[in-house]
Amino acid sequence: MSDKKKKANKPFRPKARRPRGFEDRSADILRAERRLINAAFSVYDMHGFEPLQTPAFEFADALGKFLPDEDRPNVGVFALQDDDEQWMSLRYDLTAPLARYVAENYDGLAKPYRRYQAGSVFRNEKPGPGRFREFTQCDADSVGAAGPAADAEMIMLAAEVMRAAGLKDGQYAVRVNNRKLLDGILESAGVPNTDEGALQRLQVLRAIDKLERLGISGVEALLGEGRKDESGDYTDGAGLPVSGIKAVLKFMTCTEGVESVKGIEDRYQTIQVLEKLMGQSERGLEGVKELSVIDSILTATGFGPDRVSFDTSIVRGLGYYTGPVFEVELLADIRDKKGRPVRIGSIGGGGRYDDLVSRFRGQTVPATGFSFGVSRFLTALERMEALETSVQPPVIICAFDRDLMGEYFKMAAELRAANIRAEVFIGSGNVTKQMKYADRRNAQIAILMGSDEMEKGEVTLKDLYLGAEAAKAIQSNEEWKSARPAQDTVAKAQLVNAVKAMLGAGGMSPKK
């Protein structure tokens, strides 16, 4: 047979690979995510919010005008056509699906409708360091609540989640702005607050939102004609005139240097600066008034400027926000392996979006919310050494005699009933291989019981952590045999108590 025919008859084996921007998540990461989400959920529950789960797919037109474009239904999102030729898209965030759910169930919901949710969201964008095409978000939203009091509650909720996640005051700050202030500035720059100016306004918002990454010069280029990034890709700018660019940059930086006598940004002084900057703009002054109400609520409840401040560089990149917006920034001193400072920046945020539900119903439905990226937050906590990752490895029950599998599973059930993780070895291999497996699982205790021990009503417990430490100090095989380190034989009826005692007395894992 020729080489060509052999190649043709060779069975196809796909290469094991992941698409770019999508990540596998290990047990440690998943457990850490679960802890963080549960910490946030506990805060939301205490504030009277209720859980909700929406599907991963939504009809593309339900995502809103900000994404995607009608003639390009898979720009920015992952989309496909259903069998009835309707475009469906993987959800870009959890907010647009919430708006659809509220509109669909509007009459049956108590309003304000307060819900929380966590789940994967998908972005059909260029992946890069720290930029994934699938990631987990955790949200809380209040739909049907007009007025800045609801926004103040969301801001306080964000700060409380930071505490619940294990951060201390001073390690984070919530920075607040109001889209209405920027609306006033853009109107004076010739960008109307209408559907015709929506795309240009969105480009302005996204340009400002890149301040942390690109700096003033990069934002200035995106407000104008555009810029080319390091890879050579070109991003079109908002096309503002020079006067408009100057007005936006002045607004972005107007809160810099506003400090109280203690060196902490003072919200009251910021409000005074903004009031002068807005001049005669009715929409801008309305935004200032809303910030003033938020400040009074925050002050009354003890949320000082060290936890929540006003910052006009915060705009949020999505186009559906209509009022107060905010971001949570980490302030801790974070260093990489070489001791260089690492800036994590924003790990979450939110704001008011009064027009999202109204798209479906034709009536104003006020809403406000908070969202954080779980993976980004975890990365920050890990670098701050504030991430709790320890999980007790399972006790491994070795299958010394296959005829005793029922007894092994019975022992495992007894340990689990006592809240002790336990696993029966169900693979193939002798006891030596099973002990190697226990070591790979980083287990502290291995349990052995053969037919002889069964008849005597005994089990043997091996403390693998102490055994590994003792083995380092024992030179000869004879000494090892005579010492029999970290091993104990106990009555089978005392298994649970003996395991608890050994776990309590065990030292640090030799792998840590």
Q: DSSP secondary-structure letter at 63?
A: G
Domain 27-383: what homologous superfamily? Bira Bifunctional Protein; Domain 2 (3.30.930.10)
- Which residues face 327 on adjacent strands? 175, 349
Q: Which residues in the chain are classed under CATH 3.40.50.800?
A: 395-505
Cα 155 → chain centroid: 17
Q: Which residue has the tokens 């047979």?
A: 1
DSSP string of 88-157?
Answer: EEE-SSSHHHHHHHHHHTGGGS-SSEEEEEEEEEE-BS--BTTB-SEEEEEEEEEES--SHHHHHHHHHH
pLDDT of residue 468: 76
Closest CA to 487 of 457, 460, 459, 454: 460
Strand partners, 113: 143
- Report d(CA 77, CA 85) in Å as an integer: 17
Residues 6+ apart with CB under 8 A from 35: 388
Strand locations in 150-233, DSSP E?
A: 172-178, 226-228
> What's at 371, amino acid-wise?
S
Rounded mean pLDDT for each run of 10 residues along the chain, 512 residues in total: 65 89 86 93 96 94 58 71 88 92 95 96 82 92 94 97 91 92 78 70 76 81 82 80 79 64 66 85 91 96 93 77 92 72 80 88 91 87 72 91 94 96 93 93 94 94 85 56 70 95 72 55
Range(s) within the chain of domains with CATH label 3.30.930.10? 27-383
Rounded CA separation 391/201 (Å)? 48
Give the model's pLDDT for residue 262. 40
Domain 395-505's class? alpha beta
Parallel, antiparallel, or unpaired: how do β-strands 422-424 and 395-397 relate?
A: parallel
Give the residue among 373, 377, 365 at the shortest CA–CA distance from 98.
365
**Alpha carbon distance 292, 148 (integer Å):** 9
Integer Cα distance of 165 and 37 in angstroms = 9
Q: What's this model's pTM, rounded to 2 decimal places? A: 0.78
The pLDDT value recorded for residue 220 is 83
Q: Sort strands 134-143 and 367-373 into parallel, antiparallel or unpaired.
A: antiparallel
* Half-sphere exposure in the Cβ direction for 40 (13 Å, CA): 27
DSSP string, 306-373: TTEEE-TT---S-TT--SEEEEEEE-S--B-TTS-B----EEEEEEE-TTTTHHHHSS---EEEEEEE
**Long-range contacts of range 20-25, CB-CB < 8 Å, 24 or more positions apart?**
20/127, 20/133, 21/125, 21/127, 21/131, 21/132, 21/133, 21/134, 22/132, 22/133, 22/134, 23/132, 23/134, 23/375
